[in-house]
Amino acid sequence: MNDTFRTFGWPATRIAETAHWAVMLRPAQPVLGAVVVACKVPARSLGAAGPEAMADLAAAAAGVEAMLAATVRPEKLNWLALMMVDPDLHFHVLPRYPETREAAGVALPDAGWPGPPRLDAGRALEAEEAAALTRHLAAHWPG
């Protein structure tokens, strides 16, 4: 795994994996259920991931969407490929909702609703909170 995985707490934050992608809890939660979907193939851009990884992204996206629908119940999902600090290919997936959501003992509002996500809002989770939320989300991964 590359440095981007380590930045987001791998392997402690691991929720699920597909052949080419890993889904991790985002330790800083701007909204409840924020996850990172990181490419396991060495790539610094979407086009460099290759056709197999791109095809497998559909499976990863379907899993993320089902998991978050079962846990956070977002009204929308925002997929952001920022890669300004961590250059390896990854997406920040942010569930969006108008009212505070709670799961695994963690409750957070969506400070940016209904506008753009506020990445500066929310908070970094304590280790115990992150572990509990990671387990909760992983338990709802389809399949």
- Domain boundaries in the chain? 3-139
Amino acid 143: pLDDT: 81
Q: In sequence order, what DSSP letters do the residues of 46-102 get, joined into one string?
A: GGGG-HHHHHHHHHHHHHHHHHHHHHT--SEEEEE---SSS-SSEEEEEEE-SS-EE
Is 61 in contact with 67 (CB distance < 8 Å)? no
The partner residues of 49 in beta bridges, in order of sequence, read none
pTM flag (> 0.75): yes
| 86 CB-near residues (< 8 Å, 6+ apart) | 3, 4, 7, 8
Whether the bond between 11 and the residue before it is cis, its omega within 30 degrees of 0, is yes
* pLDDT, tens digit (0-9, with 9 covering 90-100), for 126-139: 999 999 999 999 99
* pLDDT, tens digit (0-9, with 9 covering 90-100), for 45-76: 999 999 999 999 999 999 999 999 999 999 99
132 in helix, strand or coil?
Answer: helix
Give residue for tokens 């991964």: 141
Mean pLDDT over 71-98 rounds to: 96
Tokens of 17: 């994996």
CATH topology of domain 3-139: HIT family, subunit A (3.30.428)
Is 34 in contact with 94 (CB distance < 8 Å)? yes
User: Does 1 have pLDDT greater than 90?
Assistant: no
